[in-house]
Structure 1
C-alpha cells in the first residue's frame, strides 16, 4: 500500500512578455529595437506587453503610449490581439502537459501545473525548473516560475520573489527630503562604486524560486502584499497603515482584517497559506485530428500530391470515426523546400468521416497550390469537426417516421453543396426557411445551406409572388376596388383580371416605418402586357391612402 502524500506541489509559470515575444518569434528584427504591444484603455492607448529592449529603455506596462514615445522616441508598437495570444497560451498549455497531466490556464499569460508526484520523473524540482527554462529559451520566451504547496504561494513566488515592499509615500522620495540632503543624493548610487545592485524588475528577477514543503509562511513573509493577488486600491490602503509585507498580515487577527478590508483579503491570505482550499481546475485540451507525411524527396506534380492524400485521408477518417466525429472543415498544408507553406481549406455541408466524400473536394484545391521548388511535407487536419451519430433512439410513435427519413436520406445534395462551396464559398449557398411572421417580406429566412436542414414545415398560406421589392407607388383611382387602368414605372397597364383581396394588418407591437400606412388589401392583377403583379391598396391609417406594387408572379 503506497503512503499518502502529505504535501501538494504547485508550479506557477508566468510569461511576462508573452504578447510581445509571440510577434518577435515571427519577426526577430522586432527584438532588436524597443518594441511593445498597446491596448485601448478608456480614451487612451497604454503599453500592454514589452520586449526586453523596451524595458531596458525605462518603459513599463500600463504606461500611456504618449508618455512612452516621449521617453523612447524609437519605440515600435503593434496593436494587441487577445485572441491570438489566447491561442498561443493554449499551445503552451499543450507543451506543459509533458510535466504533468494536471495543467490549467490563467489567462492572459500564465499556467498552473499540479506537480504532485511528478517532479521526481525529471530529477527533482530544481531540475524540472531548469528544463522549463531551457524549453522557454528555445522557444524565445521569458518565464518566471514558482513552486510551493499552494496555488497562491506559487503565484506569489513566480511574480514577486526578489521584490521588496514599496514605500507608502507618493512621489519621488528624494523630492520629499530637505534641500541639503537632496544635494548629496548622487552619493547614494552606491552600486556604481562596488555596492549591491538595486532589486531587478519583476520580469527580470531570478526565475528559480522554490518554497520547500511546509515552509510557505517563511517564503511569503518578505514579499509585498500585492503577492496575495489583491487589487491596487487595497494594496494602497494597507500601505497607508504600514502593512506592506505579507509577514505584516500573517500575525494580524483575521476578524479585524475582515471587518476593515472585507473577507476577500482574508480569503486570499488563507489560500496562500493553505488554510483555505484552492484546487487547480485543468481544462482538457481540445481534440485535434491531423496527419502528416514527410517526403524523402520534394514533389511538385498534382498526381503525386493526390497519391499522398490517398494514403493520408484513410488515416484521418479512421481517427475521426473512432471518436464518433465528422469533419466540417478540412485544411491541407503543403510545406515547401524553401521553408514556405501554402494551405487550402474545404468545407462540407454535413459532417463526414468518409474518404470518398473528402477526396473530390480536396482534389479541386490541389491544383491551386504553388509547389515552388518542391513540397517536402504534407499535413491534413480536420479544423472543425462535429459529432456523428450512427443511430438514433426513437420511440414507437416516431419509429415509422425515422425509418422513412433514413431510407430517403441521400448525401448527393450535401456533396453538391460541398463542391459548389469549394468554388464560391459555403456562405454563398443559401436556402429559405419559414419565419414566424405574417408580413410578406418577413415570412421567410435566408439561411446557409451547409448549416441548416431543408424546411418541410411550410405553413399553409396563400400564394406569394416570386419577386418581392419595396412598395412602389401606382397611379390609379383612389378607391379600394382594383383599378382597370393604372400607371407604374412610367408605363400604362390595363387590368385583364384580378384575384383578391387578402387583407394584411401591420404588427401592432412594432413600429415598422414601411407599415405606417395601416391595413393593406392585396390583389393579384393580370395585365395586358403579360405581367401578373401584386398590388395592394393602403387604407392610410396615418398616411394618405393609395395603390402600390410590391411584387410580381412568375
Structure 2
C-alpha cells in the first residue's frame, strides 16, 4: 500500500447554494435549480430547506411545486456553476498544491505530506468544514489511501452510519426493483430516496480511513460506492451482493466474466491495486508586469514612459510564448491606497509594443493622479495564439513590408484607435450573408472580431446602393413595368426599364415580408433622373402588387 492520502470533497447542494449566494434574500427558503430533460424540467440541485420539504433530485418541477408552494426555482447555469467550482478549486489550493476538479460538484486533493501542517487529517477536515460553512456551502469529505476509496467515503459514509442498525442502507441507484416491495419499513434513502445530506456538522464516523485500512473502511459501504454503472449495481443487488465487502470474497474471474472488466477495475482502483493518479489542472497562463516607484509620480509623460517600459517587457513575454494581447488592463495604484484601471481592446492580437502603445496612451489622461501613483501594473487579460511567421530574405521582406503598409495593418491600427475612443462594438464592417434575398445578402459584424470581407458573391444583376423595406406603389396590376405610377405621394413617369430578375423566397424559412410569393425585379429610370428598384409580387399568402425596394446611385 502506498503512502498517499487523498481527500475527496463533495458539494451536494452546489447549484442551489450558488443561487443563494448570488441572491442573499433567498436564504432560508426552499431553493432549487432546474435543468431541461427533454420536454421535462427536473430538479438538479436543492437547498437544505427544499430537501426538508420532501423534494429530491431528478423530481419533475411541477410535482415539486405541488408539494412545496413556497418553492423558488431558478434555471441551472452550467457555465456559472463551473466557474464557481473553479473558484473553489483555487480555494482548495491552500491545503495542497495537488488539486483536481471533478465536475460538476466535487474536488479531489492529494494531501500526501500536507496534513501535518494543519494539525492532522481530522483538524484539516474541520478547517475545510468551517471554511465551507463560512461560504454558505454544504460539504461532505472523505480521506483514504486511494481516490476511489475517498470518493466513496465522502458520499456513502453518512448512509452507512444511518443504516448501521442491521438494514441494508441501499440508495436508489443501488437497490434492485425486485427488493423494493419488501422495503416498506426502511428509511426514505433505503426505499429509494436521495442520500441524506443534513445540516453542516462534524464528519461522520468512518469518513477518514486510517492508512492501510482501506479494505475495512469500504466493506460496509454499498456497491454503488465503487462508481459502477447503474445497470451493474442493479444486477449485483438482485444477486444479494449489496455491499463492497460482499464482493471482496468473490472470485475475480467470475466477476469479470459476468459483469465486465469495469467492475474489477473499479474494485482494484478503490483498494489501491490499480493506479488512479490525481491530475491537477494546469494553471492558466497569466501575463502581467508591474513597476513600483520610490516616490509617487503624477505627470502624464512620466506615466507614459513607465507604461512604455512595462509594455516592452510584457510583449517580450507574450512573444516568447507565441501569444498576442487582445485586451490589456492598466492598473494605477495611488499613494492613498486607491486604485484605478483602464481596459484597452485591440482590433487584432498583437505582441508589438509600437502598435499597442498608442492605444494605451489614449487611456492615460483618464487616470486621476491625486497624490501620485506609487505602482503601475499592466496585464494581458485576453490573449490569443499568433500564427507562426515564415522567415524571408531581404528582398521578400521588403516586398512584404510594402504590402503590409498598404494592406490591412494600417486599417487594423485605425480600428484599434477608434475603438479605444468609441468602443470596439461601435466599429462595424459588412460581410456577405448566406442568403440570396437582397435584404439578407449582407450582415453587420464588429470590425475587431471579424476579418475583412473577401470573395463577395456577384449577383446576377446589379444591386441598388440603398435598400429599404418594400414600400407599396400604386400602379396597374400587371407584371409589365408601369409607364406611370405613384409612390411616396408623387407621380412618376418611366423613361426606361431593365429586367426582369426573378427572386424566389426561401421555402425552408417563413419570412413575413416574402409571403407575397416570388418577385420580378425591374430597374426603372424615371423622367426626373431617379433610378428605382421596383418589383412585382406575384402573390401567395398575400395579394400581388408593385413595390419599391431601393434606389441606384
TM-score of the aligned structures, taking structure 1 as reference length: 0.71
> Could you say if the C-alpha distance between residues 314 and 209 of structure 1 is closer, same or farther in structure 2, counting changes exceeding 3 Å?
farther
Q: Is the 8 A contact 1:161 1:205 kept in 2?
A: no
- 1-structure distance, mates of 2:323, 2:479: 60
> Could you say if the C-alpha distance between residues 58 and 439 of structure 1 is closer, same or farther in structure 2, counting changes exceeding 3 Å?
closer
> Could you say if the C-alpha distance between residues 502 and 55 of structure 1 is closer, same or farther in structure 2, counting changes exceeding 3 Å?
closer
Length, aligned pairs only: 514
Which residue number corresponds to residue 164 of structure 1?
A: 161
* Residue 40 in structure 1 maps to residue 34 in structure 2: yes
Deviates more, 1:288-297 or 1:334-343: 334-343
Which residue number corresponds to residue 112 of structure 1?
A: 108
- Distance apart, 1:214 and its partner CA: 5.1
User: 1:45-444 to 2 correspondence within 5 Å?
Assistant: 48=46, 62=57, 82-94=78-90, 103-113=99-109, 119-120=112-113, 140=134, 145-161=141-157, 163-164=160-161, 166=163, 167=167, 204-205=202-203, 211=209, 215-229=213-227, 244-252=242-250, 268-274=266-272, 278-293=276-291, 306=304, 309-333=307-331, 343-368=341-366, 378-389=376-387, 391-392=389-390, 405-406=403-404, 408-444=406-442
Two-structure CA RMSD over aligned residues (Å): 5.2
Q: Is the 8 A contact 2:8 2:143 kept in 1?
A: no
Deviates more, 1:382-391 or 1:470-479: 470-479
- 2-structure distance, mates of 1:301, 1:133: 52
* Residue 9 in structure 1 maps to residue 4 in structure 2: yes
Which residue number corresponds to residue 186 of structure 1?
A: none
Which secondary structure does the structure 1 equivalent of 2:431 belong to? strand
- 1-structure distance, mates of 2:113, 2:187: 50
Q: Is the 8 A contact 1:289 1:316 kept in 2?
A: yes
- 2-structure distance, mates of 1:259, 1:165: 34
1:257-287 residue CA offsets vs partner (Å, 9 max, x unmatched): 6798887655543432345554545432321
Unmatched 5+ stretches in structure 2 = 169-181, 189-196
- 2-structure distance, mates of 1:521, 1:371: 66
- Distance apart, 1:549 and its partner CA: 1.1
Q: Is the 8 A contact 1:9 1:147 kept in 2?
A: no
> Could you say if the C-alpha distance between residues 174 and 87 of structure 1 is closer, same or farther in structure 2, counting changes exceeding 3 Å?
closer
Which residue number corresponds to residue 175 of structure 2?
A: none
> Could you say if the C-alpha distance between residues 244 and 94 of structure 1 is closer, same or farther in structure 2, counting changes exceeding 3 Å?
same
- 1-structure distance, mates of 2:279, 2:141: 19
1:37-80 residue CA offsets vs partner (Å, 9 max, x unmatched): 63125657675456xxx799999985999999x9999x999986
- 1-structure distance, mates of 2:107, 2:351: 35
Which residue number corresponds to residue 176 of structure 2?
A: none
- Distance apart, 1:122 and its partner CA: 7.3
1:330-380 residue CA offsets vs partner (Å, 9 max, x unmatched): 233456789876544322110012333333333444555677998776543
- Distance apart, 1:289 and its partner CA: 1.7
- 1-structure distance, mates of 2:456, 2:187: 81
Deviates more, 1:366-375 or 1:242-251: 366-375
> Could you say if the C-alpha distance between residues 533 and 501 of structure 1 is closer, same or farther in structure 2, counting changes exceeding 3 Å?
same
Match of 2:504 among 506, 509, 513: 506
- 2-structure distance, mates of 1:80, 1:339: 39
Which secondary structure does the structure 2 equivalent of 1:411 belong to? helix
- 2-structure distance, mates of 1:81, 1:475: 54
- 1-structure distance, mates of 2:68, 2:509: 56
Which secondary structure does the structure 2 equivalent of 1:450 belong to? coil
- Distance apart, 1:127 and its partner CA: 5.0
> Could you say if the C-alpha distance between residues 518 and 226 of structure 1 is closer, same or farther in structure 2, counting changes exceeding 3 Å?
closer
- 1-structure distance, mates of 2:418, 2:314: 23
1:302-322 residue CA offsets vs partner (Å, 9 max, x unmatched): 677656534433332222121
Q: Is the 8 A contact 1:11 1:145 kept in 2?
A: no
> Could you say if the C-alpha distance between residues 436 and 63 of structure 1 is closer, same or farther in structure 2, counting changes exceeding 3 Å?
closer
- 1-structure distance, mates of 2:242, 2:336: 57
Which residue number corresponds to residue 536 of structure 2?
A: 537
> Could you say if the C-alpha distance between residues 248 and 91 of structure 1 is closer, same or farther in structure 2, counting changes exceeding 3 Å?
same
Unmatched 5+ stretches in structure 1 = 1-5, 176-198
Q: Is the 8 A contact 2:209 2:217 kept in 1?
A: yes
Which residue number corresponds to residue 484 of structure 2?
A: 485
> Could you say if the C-alpha distance between residues 220 and 388 of structure 1 is closer, same or farther in structure 2, counting changes exceeding 3 Å?
same
> Could you say if the C-alpha distance between residues 49 and 107 of structure 1 is closer, same or farther in structure 2, counting changes exceeding 3 Å?
farther
Which secondary structure does the structure 1 equivalent of 2:448 belong to? helix
Q: Is the 8 A contact 1:504 1:520 kept in 2?
A: yes
1:412-467 residue CA offsets vs partner (Å, 9 max, x unmatched): 32122122223443233221223454432232232221122222323444431121
